[in-house]
Amino acid sequence: MAKQVTVAAQTGLMERPDWMGDQKRGSEEVTIQDITIPRLTMIQDLSPQRKKNQAEYIEGAEEGMLFNTVTNRLYVDPVLFVPVYFRLEWVVWKHRDSGGGFIGAFPTQSEAVKAVGDHALAGQETEKGDPVLGVQDTAQHFGLLMDPDSPAENPRAEEIVISMSRSQLKPSRQFNTQIKLVGGDRWSRLYRLSAVTATNAAGQDYFNWKVEQLGFVSEGIYQRAEALYEAVKSGLRDVQRDVPTDAPSDDDKM
């Protein structure tokens, strides 16, 4: 018993006790603008989540796994995803060799290119001769990720964004095509997402997305997805920004 008490004191209780309630006091002034939606990202061979000397390291992370960029939760098996909102944007990033980082996101390529030209780092190169700033077209898939540990009769879901760029733009287009063909609201159906092995032009293996269409969602999930749609469309919710990770390729410089 003493050991159980010690563990609980050090790590916290896994389930909320009945006496605690759920009043959310202390967060009264946290508005929707103070919250970003985490990303669901695929781990590749060179991802920092696999390197113990990196701050982003996640214990147990292996290539082909998926992870939540806020909680660092790892997903080994395929996940169930409800797509809600799609947005294509052009993202300006700082090269990893120059410290990396998000500079800005723009609705058109011309606006992104102009932002690069106006930036203080415009025209500068890394020690290897690569541009310090670069533009990457990125498909943002906003949606709901179903919690695999929740009961089937009362599933839990969390808001998530899947950012697809470079080699991942092909499965992104396939995803949109599947959704378009069945018609209806984007969040009407459930999809299974998994990581599959692919090979780039340089003969390097990496992992990419595989999308499979399943059945219709429940009324509760539909309503929650509709609420997320309204929040994203109105600009009240957006994706968490950090350095992108993607499959290695000949033009994968950022």
Per-residue pLDDT, 67? 95
| Per-residue model confidence (pLDDT) at position 15 | 59
Which of 71, 37, 239, 232 is closest to 149 using CA atoms? 71
Predicted confidence band at 208 (pLDDT cuts at 50, 70, 90)?
Answer: very high
**Could you read off the pLDDT of 167-190 as tens digits, one per residue?**
999 999 999 999 999 999 999 999
**HSE on the CB side for 137, CA within 13 Å?**
11
Q: Which residues pair with 209 in a beta bridge?
A: 195
Q: Where are the beta strands (DSSP E) in 69-204?
A: 74-75, 79-94, 101-106, 133-146, 157-165, 189-199
Answer with the residue of higher pLDDT: 168 or 96: 168
Does the structure show a pLDDT above 60 at 199?
yes
Q: In this model, does residue 160 exceed pLDDT 60? A: yes
Pick 138 or 252 by higher pLDDT: 138
Where do the H-state alpha helices sit in the chain? 2-11, 109-118, 169-182, 219-233
Q: Average pLDDT of the chain?
A: 85
Confidence of residue 7 (pLDDT cuts 50, 70, 90): very low
Question: Taking the domains of the chain in order of start, what are their residue ranges?
Answer: 33-233
> What does pTM read for this prediction?
0.81
- The Cα-based distances of 34 to 31, 42, 68, 162, 238 in angstroms read 5, 26, 18, 20, 10
